[in-house]
Amino acid sequence: MIAILTTKTTHHIFFENQIFKKYKDIINIYETTFIKPKFKIETIFEKKRENFEKKTCFQNKKLNFKGKSYAVKNINDNIIFKILKKHNIKYLIVFGTRKIKKEIVTRYKSKIFNLHGGNPEEFRGLDSHYWSIYHNNFNLYSCLHKLSYKLDDGNIVFLKKIKLQKNMKIHQLRFKNTLYCIQMVLRLIYLIKNNKTIPSIKQKNESRYYSFMPKTIKDIVEKKFNLVLKNY
């Protein structure tokens, strides 16, 4: 059995449902609270992103997880161990939660994986795609790596370059990344279920950790992205 640890956002629900279409023996555990910085981070393009994803993923219908789901306030709450034991969970896949506590990482060792929106050898932490664009690096990646207690430091399983398209808008980027995440996780589960070797490439470069991107910088990033993609 495999558990996905995530949140109940539009792209995460879409992700889980796509995995569930192929593999019914997964459960979903999502946290209901979020860490927020003291400064403003919300932008207009993120509102456009939400509307775009609801329309693209669910045709504006009600959003619900299709698989067996559990809501927890914090993904590190002790109740999670009861849930994992109840379903005899052998593997964990993390997508978009807060940092996983050491006790969980230690218990699952090489059987816990994380989805990261970026190349962890270049950008670690939060808003990695946006920080990459801010630094004029338009080589954007989706990554699946083994999860270690040090953020985004585990061995890389899959690293996929995101194919950008002319006139693409920044509010469409997260959906693009989610599609790559679906592909990588479907491949991972296939390897697990067929007892095949899972790729594991040690990271050679320890990149800088980035935190929440402020709204003022996100506004700059939006202009950069839309301008470059207009002439892509």
* Residue 122, domain extent: 2-230
Assess whether pLDDT exceeds 90 at residue 115.
yes
> At 164, is the pLDDT very low, low, confident or very high (cuts 50, 70, 90)?
very high
Q: Give the torsion sign (CA, 94, 98, 101, 102).
A: positive
What is the average pLDDT across 117-143? 96
Closest by CA position to 22, among listed 230, 226, 192, 201: 192
CA gap 129, 47 in Å, rounded: 17
Share of the chain residues as helix, strand and coil, in percent rounded to the nearest 5: 40, 20, 40
What is the average pLDDT across 105-116? 95
> Tokens 């192929």 sit at which residue?
22
Q: Which residues, in sequence order, are CB contacts of 39 under 8 Å at separation 6+? A: 212, 214, 215
CATH number of domain containing 156: 3.40.50.170
Assess whether pLDDT exceeds 90 at residue 63.
no
Q: Average pLDDT of the chain? A: 95
Question: What pTM did the predictor assign?
Answer: 0.94
> At 61, is the pLDDT very low, low, confident or very high (cuts 50, 70, 90)?
confident
Pairwise pLDDT comparison (203 vs 67), residue with the higher score: 203
- Taking the mean position of all CA atoms in its chain, how far away is CA 177? 8
Q: How many domains does the chain have?
A: 1
Q: What is the pLDDT of residue 145?
A: 97
> At 213, is the pLDDT very low, low, confident or very high (cuts 50, 70, 90)?
very high
